Structures are given as C-alpha cells and as structure tokens.
C-alpha cells in the first residue's frame, strides 16, 4: 500500500473528492480476456449507493460508473482500467461552516495539520464517498475471480449494531438481502431499525461490526512474512473510513482461548485435509488453508452528527459544532459492500501473486 494505491499485482489507485467533478480508480494488473461490463460493476455500486433507505444518507448520487480504458469489445485487455463516477449532487452549501471549524472525531483537523490546506466540501478526500471507487474496483476483481476461481463466494453482512450483536443461532444467509442492514438475523434487523430511528431523531449515530466471509478460497494464497494474506486484509479493511478494528477468525477473542480450544483439528476428507473447526479464520501463518476466510471489522459511529460537540475553529477559538447535512446515522451499513469489495481485491491480488511465484503448484497431501 502506498498513499492512494493498494495491491501488489492487482493494483488499485483511487482518486477524487466528495464534491469535486468526479472520482474513480485506476485498476492495473487485471488479467486479460476477462469479461467486464459497466452494468456488472454498476450492480455492486448500486448496493452501496446512498439514499436507499432512511438509514443511509439522503444524498442522491447517481453513482453511475463509466469505463474509460482497458476494456475492448467487452473484454479486459490487460492494460489499466479507468473507472469514473461523476459527482452529480454536490450541495456544498450544506458544508459552509465546516471550512472554519473541526468536527470532533473527524479527519478535518488532521488533514489541516498535515497539509495546511483541505478541501472542506463534504469532507473532501476523507469522505466515505471514496469507497465508491473501491466498490467499482471490487467489481472488476469479482469479474476476474469469476473466471479464475468460479467456486469463490464472498458474503458480507452486519453482525452488530451499537451494543447489539446478532444471534448466531438465528443466522440465515437468505435474510441478508431482505433488510436494509444486510443482517443475517431478521430479529436483529428489526431491533436495529427501531434503535436507529431513535438515534437518528435524536441527532446521534452509532457504530457497527461487519463480517465478510470468502468461501472457496484455495489453500496456498498469502505469503510470509509481511505479505501475509491476513496482513493485507487487515490493511485493506483498516483503510476503509471509520474502521477501528480488524479481526481474522476468532480475532480479539483468540486471546481468551487455550491452545487446546484454539487448535483446529484436521482429518482427511475425500479431497484433502478437512478441518473440524475454523478458529483460524482460514489463514495459518499468513497463508490460506482452504477453509472459509473470515474477517470482521468495527466501524465507529459517524462523527458528523446533529448533537452539539465542543470543538475549536481554525482561528483557535472554542466553539460548539453541530453538523448538518445528510449523513449516515450508521455508516457501517454502507460499509458492507465496501468490505466485500476489499476482500475481492485482496484475494485476486494474492491469487495472481501466488501463481507468479509458485505457478500454482501445490504440495500434495495423501
């Protein structure tokens, strides 16, 4: 990762500010001959699009993606794919005061401290709007993975909103697409809806935990020691706006386990090793084991809220900040497709890296 680029061989560079004329990404290193259609990428963008329920920002963005390069007659050519999304709804008047004050919990102040200049319109580069570009890049990654790893499935969902986790015993994958929270637990979704209504009305916001699972990842992706699959996933998820924690498998809870509990025992299945549990989250020593790759990340509550908070102005005066504008009361909701996109990009990148170094050969067991 290097400033605005991530990935080793499949490399994505995003650009653009919340209220500039456009934003987008350059996807470099995509394998050639992959069917890429704007409509397919649009599908993923639409899942992330604001204004789809009362629980997300009412900002209306068409978020229409255009493919400007790297695709010829519907197929990737192996050259950089430029994906551009024009910003169409830029009510920057909403943000007038923002230029002179720093929102507590927001990157306003650190951008100013670092650069001595910042684009205050809609948070500029630090806006969650940047994640649209990642989702578009993820659409390209998914298209390539559909060719290279047809058995791969990536599924993201919310497992906690505020202090309330889902009940894993009620986990129902079919529920995920049925509620505005991408919750696999219908009852949790209903509870969250009620709670979020109340929070929104009181000018408050709340955090969330997202889980993203990739099934069908072959054993052998990742690399020691700093190119570990989990290191790259951690960096990828932590780079998403407002993320404060990342877990693989048991995550922080691994601390509380004993070695006897934590060891995922192995038996021999019909087509290779079979693990009896998945505390590891599908990654051992930085390398995928063939089990589901399981990542979770925590998204803090939106810092742009209507409740007044103490802060200071550019001139150093103390003040109270109330952030108007159209903000997500739980920005974690829209982080679900973003987390999926990052998972897709990282897995594709490691798939290419692995076949680069090893040629895809594998050690035989049995």
User: Residues 48 to 77: which contact a copy of itself by CB under 8 A?
Assistant: 66, 68-70, 72, 75-77
CA of residue 74 relative to chain centroid, distance = 27
96 is an interface residue for a copy of itself by CB under 8 A: no
CB of residue 290 to a copy of itself, shortest distance in Å: 7
**Number of shown-chain residues binding a copy of itself (CB under 8 A):** 166
Report the 10 Å Cβ neighbour count for 181.
Answer: 27
Who contacts 6 (Cβ-Cβ below 8 Å, separation ≥6)? 12, 235, 236, 239, 345
223 is an interface residue for a copy of itself by CB under 8 A: yes
Rounded to 5 degrees, what are φ and ψ at 72? -130, 125
14 is an interface residue for a copy of itself by CB under 8 A: yes
What is the spatial distance between Cα 63 and Cα 132, in angstroms, rounded to a whole number?
A: 8
149 is an interface residue for a copy of itself by CB under 8 A: no
Closest C-alpha among 300, 340, 344 to residue 157: 340
Q: Please, which of residues 235-294 interact with a copy of itself by CB under 8 A?
A: 235-239, 241, 244-268, 273, 276, 279-281, 283-290
What is the spatial distance between Cα 218 and Cα 224, in angstroms, rounded to a whole number?
A: 17
Looking up tokens 């390398």 gives: 287
145 is an interface residue for a copy of itself by CB under 8 A: no
Report the 10 Å Cβ neighbour count for 231.
Answer: 17
What is the spatial distance between Cα 145 and Cα 55, in angstroms, rounded to a whole number?
A: 32
136 is an interface residue for a copy of itself by CB under 8 A: no
CB of residue 95 to a copy of itself, shortest distance in Å: 13
139 is an interface residue for a copy of itself by CB under 8 A: no
Nearer to a copy of itself by C-beta: 131 or 179? 131
CB of residue 352 to a copy of itself, shortest distance in Å: 4
Respond yes or no on whether the N-terminal peptide bond of residue 74 is cis (omega within 30° of 0).
Answer: no
CB of residue 190 to a copy of itself, shortest distance in Å: 19
Nearer to a copy of itself by C-beta: 119 or 175? 119
Who contacts 220 (Cβ-Cβ below 8 Å, separation ≥6)? 287, 288, 354, 358, 362
Site string for a copy of itself, 15-34 (x = CB under 8 A): xxx--xxxxx-x-xxxxxx-
CB of residue 84 to a copy of itself, shortest distance in Å: 8
39 is an interface residue for a copy of itself by CB under 8 A: no
Q: Please, which of residues 305-334 interact with a copy of itself by CB under 8 A?
A: 305, 307, 309-312, 314-318, 332
With CB under 8 A as the contact rule, which of the stretches 44-52, 105-113, 169-177, 182-190 interacts with a copy of itself? 105-113
Closest C-alpha among 39, 93, 35 to residue 66: 39
What is the spatial distance between Cα 136 and Cα 142, in angstroms, rounded to a whole number?
A: 10
Looking up tokens 């990842």 gives: 217
């Amino acid at each position: 990762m290097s400033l605005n680029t991530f990935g080793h061989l499949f490399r994505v560079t995003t650009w653009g500010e919340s209220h500039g004329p456009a934003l987008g990404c350059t996807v470099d290193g995509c394998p050639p001959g992959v069917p890429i259609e704007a409509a397919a990428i649009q599908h993923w963008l639409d899942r992330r699009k604001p204004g789809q329920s009362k629980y997300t920002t009412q900002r209306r963005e068409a978020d229409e993606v255009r493919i400007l390069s790297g695709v010829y007659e519907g197929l990737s050519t192996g050259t950089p794919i430029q994906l551009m999304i024009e910003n169409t709804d830029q009510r920057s008047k909403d943000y007038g005061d923002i230029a002179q004050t720093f929102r507590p919990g927001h990157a306003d102040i650190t951008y100013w401290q670092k650069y001595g200049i910042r684009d205050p319109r809609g948070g500029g580069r630090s806006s969650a709007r940047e994640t649209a570009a990642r989702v578009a890049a993820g659409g390209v990654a998914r298209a390539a993975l559909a060719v290279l790893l047809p058995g791969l499935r990536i599924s993201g969902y919310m497992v906690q909103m505020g202090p309330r986790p889902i009940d894993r015993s009620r986990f129902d994958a079919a529920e995920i697409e049925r509620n505005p929270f991408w919750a696999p637990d219908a009852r949790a979704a209903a509870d969250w809806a009620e709670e979020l209504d109340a929070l929104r009305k009181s000018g408050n916001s709340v955090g969330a935990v997202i889980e993203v699972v990739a099934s069908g990842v072959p054993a052998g992706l990742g690399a020691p020691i700093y190119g570990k699959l989990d290191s790259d996933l951690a960096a990828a998820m932590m780079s998403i706006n407002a993320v404060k924690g990342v877990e693989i498998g048991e995550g922080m809870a691994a601390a509380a386990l004993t070695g006897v509990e934590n060891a995922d025992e192995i038996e021999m299945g019909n087509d290779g090793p079979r693990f009896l549990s998945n505390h590891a989250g599908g990654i051992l020593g930085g390398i995928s084991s063939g089990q589901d790759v399981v990542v979770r990340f925590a998204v803090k509550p939106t810092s742009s809220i209507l409740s007044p908070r103490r802060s200071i102005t550019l001139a150093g005066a103390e003040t109270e900040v109330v952030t108007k504008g159209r903000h997500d009361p739980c920005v974690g909701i829209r982080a679900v497709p973003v987390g999926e996109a990052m998972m897709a990009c990282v897995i594709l990148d490691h798939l290419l890296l692995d076949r680069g170094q090893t040629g895809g050969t594998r050690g035989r067991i049995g």
